[in-house]
């Protein structure tokens, strides 16, 4: 494991302390878990954006009929 030092507001530190006590976990565990979840979500999102941009650059767009079918589901 690698150690990382971060600065957070006093208010956030208080909330983290309270949460850690209620969950019987360390602040470090909770912070590490939050960072892991954030990074996983951002990596996934950027990957999806890059894939969509590659499709667009290849000219792969939904047809008018496909768009109407999707929109029709929301109009009902």
DSSP structural state of residue 1: -
| DSSP alpha helix (H) spans, the chain | 10-23, 27-57, 64-75
Rounded to whole angstroms, how far apart are CA atoms 68 and 64? 6
Q: What is the mean pLDDT of residues 65-71?
A: 93
pTM of the model: 0.74
What is residue 14's predicted lDDT score, i.e. its pLDDT? Answer: 97
Q: What percent of the chain has pLDDT over 70?
A: 100
């Amino acid at each position: 494991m690698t150690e990382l030092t971060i600065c957070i507001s006093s208010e956030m530190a208080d909330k983290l302390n309270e949460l850690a006590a209620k969950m019987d976990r360390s602040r470090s565990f909770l912070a590490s878990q939050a960072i892991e979840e954030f990074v996983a979500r951002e990596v996934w999102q950027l990957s999806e954006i890059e894939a969509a941009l590659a499709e667009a650059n290849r000219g792969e767009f939904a047809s008018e009929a496909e768009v109407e079918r999707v929109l029709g589901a929301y109009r009902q």
